[in-house]
A = this chain, B = another copy of it.
Amino acid sequence: MSEFGIPPYVDGRTGDKNLSKVVNRALLLDLLRARSGASRASLAKESGLTKVTVSSQVAELIALGIVKETGAGASDLGRKPVMLEIDGAAGYALGVSIATDRLHAVTMDAAGATVRDEDCPLPDASPESVVGAIASVVRAAKKKYRQSRFGLFGVGIAVPGAVERETGRVVRSAKLDWSDVPLKKAVARHFDGILRVGNDATLATIAERELYAPGADDFVCLLIDEGIGSGAYINGAIHYGHNGQFGEVGHMTIVHGGPRCPCGNEGCWDLYGSELALRQALGAARSGPVPDAAEAIALAGARPAWAEGSFRDFVDYLTTGVVSVVNSMAPTTLAINSAILAASPAMFEALKAAVADRAMSHVSACELRLSSLGKAAPAVGACMAAAERFFEGLVLRGGD
């Protein structure tokens, strides 16, 4: 469950008196969050801890207000268990993803249920406007959830660009035309809880894995829209490269000696396999205007004859990139978040078949999946990242 490979409550820590308590609490919280329908006895069985240990931990979690008893459960024989669950109403996390013209804001309760999903228009994409809009969403949520035990405990922000992990500084966002924006610092003046700022593809990957391959150690997620973004769990941990922007797989060369890309490299996959590239190809194919995103999606569903070549090329370019990713990283699951592919099951099937044909046989066990989270993925992932940190804090509390 943890987004981190080495759980932060273990990493770099000496084996002091609290270590086992902390490890066990994390284990129990993970079990409680993963399945509903747990009791003290079932937790003991699944965790390998004794009933006594579980009871004492559960008592503390209930006292903290994060776990609640929900009455008697079913049993074939013997005393009925007292069912336990994370108390969703204990607190809330807000996830915001930034686009050029709007914010997408998702709210989740402590149990992980989405309780709100809204779009806020932005006057412009300047850092000031964005920070202002985030501040107002945060303010509203803070007020709304003031009554609950932990209130609005965390905010996650998904940025389409490179983010320095430690400081939450946006190093560079081509989409927003930002350079060196201290986003976290700016938002922190309006919110003093858990605040996480990350790359949108990275955060989307957190959400997609939770949905499609919870617990998978090696999981890659591709986001295909204007450009091609990606994120990856490797060895069970989400991978942040430099500046939290792992996975510029869009800027692998697929055409050696090809045209220069704005990124500085040549013949990048992004120039051939992105939605933007497809739209430009469609425009050229009909010798007319370049379709916008909505029209391209409609065309992908309709598949008019004149567009066939463009779509076939698109799948072909996607195949080349996906095979490169599969061969070089050997994930067990690869999720693709693409509105175009979502609109055309046939195209996705063609891609799957082509990848299976070309990928190295011993790694082709990799499962290709189409994401269904769509545009919401980064905001949902931002929520999850904030919640993750919240639970990490709970683990340390009372144990440190």
Whole-angstrom distance between the alpha carbons of A23 and B6 in the complex?
13
The answer to whether B14 and A48 touch across the interface, beta carbons within 8 angstroms, is yes
Interface set, chain A 256-286, CB cutoff 8 A to B? 256, 263-267, 272
* CB of A323 closer than 8 Å to a CB of B: yes
* CB of A327 closer than 8 Å to a CB of B: yes
The answer to whether B360 and A248 touch across the interface, beta carbons within 8 angstroms, is yes
The answer to whether A236 and B5 touch across the interface, beta carbons within 8 angstroms, is yes
The answer to whether A239 and B248 touch across the interface, beta carbons within 8 angstroms, is no
The answer to whether B362 and A5 touch across the interface, beta carbons within 8 angstroms, is no
* CB of A184 closer than 8 Å to a CB of B: no
The residue from B248, B325, B328, B358 contacting A330, defined by CB atoms under 8 A apart: B248
Whole-angstrom distance between the alpha carbons of A234 and B366 in the complex?
19
* CB of A140 closer than 8 Å to a CB of B: no
Interface set, chain A 343-387, CB cutoff 8 A to B? 357-363, 365-366
Chain B residues positioned under 8 Å from A246 (CB to CB): 329-330
The answer to whether A20 and B17 touch across the interface, beta carbons within 8 angstroms, is yes
How far in angstroms is the closest Cβ of chain B from A247?
6
Contact flags A303-343 to B (C-beta < 8 A → 1, else 0): 00000000000001100110111011111100000000000
Closest residue on chain B to residue A252 by CB atoms: B324
Chain B residues positioned under 8 Å from A10 (CB to CB): 10, 23
Query: How often does this chain occur in the complex, in copies?
Result: 2
How far in angstroms is the closest Cβ of chain B from A50?
9
The answer to whether B14 and A328 touch across the interface, beta carbons within 8 angstroms, is no
The answer to whether B328 and A360 touch across the interface, beta carbons within 8 angstroms, is no
How far in angstroms is the closest Cβ of chain B from A329?
7
Query: Given known contacts A5-B235, A252-B252, is B330 in contact with A241 (CB within 8 Å)?
Result: yes
The answer to whether B320 and A266 touch across the interface, beta carbons within 8 angstroms, is yes
Chain B residues positioned under 8 Å from A176 (CB to CB): none
Whole-angstrom distance between the alpha carbons of A20 and B23 in the complex?
11
The answer to whether B328 and A265 touch across the interface, beta carbons within 8 angstroms, is no
The answer to whether A362 and B235 touch across the interface, beta carbons within 8 angstroms, is no
The answer to whether A359 and B265 touch across the interface, beta carbons within 8 angstroms, is yes
Whole-angstrom distance between the alpha carbons of A6 and B217 in the complex?
12
Query: Which residue of A48, A251, A327 has the most chain B CB atoms within 10 A of its CB atom?
Result: A327
Closest residue on chain B to residue A248 by CB atoms: B327
Whole-angstrom distance between the alpha carbons of A24 and B12 in the complex?
11
Query: Which residue of A15, A243, A249 has the most chain B CB atoms within 10 A of its CB atom?
Result: A15
* CB of A105 closer than 8 Å to a CB of B: no
* CB of A141 closer than 8 Å to a CB of B: no
Query: Given known contacts A362-B172, A363-B245, is B19 in contact with A236 (CB within 8 Å)?
Result: no
* CB of A187 closer than 8 Å to a CB of B: no
Chain B residues positioned under 8 Å from A265 (CB to CB): 323, 327, 358-360
Task: Offer 16 A-B interface pairs, CB within 8 angstroms, sorted by A.
Answer: A5-B236, A15-B22, A19-B23, A218-B239, A235-B237, A235-B239, A245-B363, A248-B327, A248-B360, A251-B324, A254-B255, A255-B256, A256-B317, A256-B320, A263-B327, A265-B327
Further contacts, 13 of them, CB under 8 A, given A242-B330, A243-B362, A246-B329: A10-B23, A13-B23, A19-B20, A218-B239, A218-B241, A241-B331, A242-B366, A245-B362, A253-B254, A265-B358, A266-B320, A266-B358, A325-B328
Cβ-closest 10 pairs across A and B: A241-B330, A15-B20, A15-B23, A252-B324, A5-B5, A235-B237, A251-B327, A234-B234, A15-B24, A249-B328
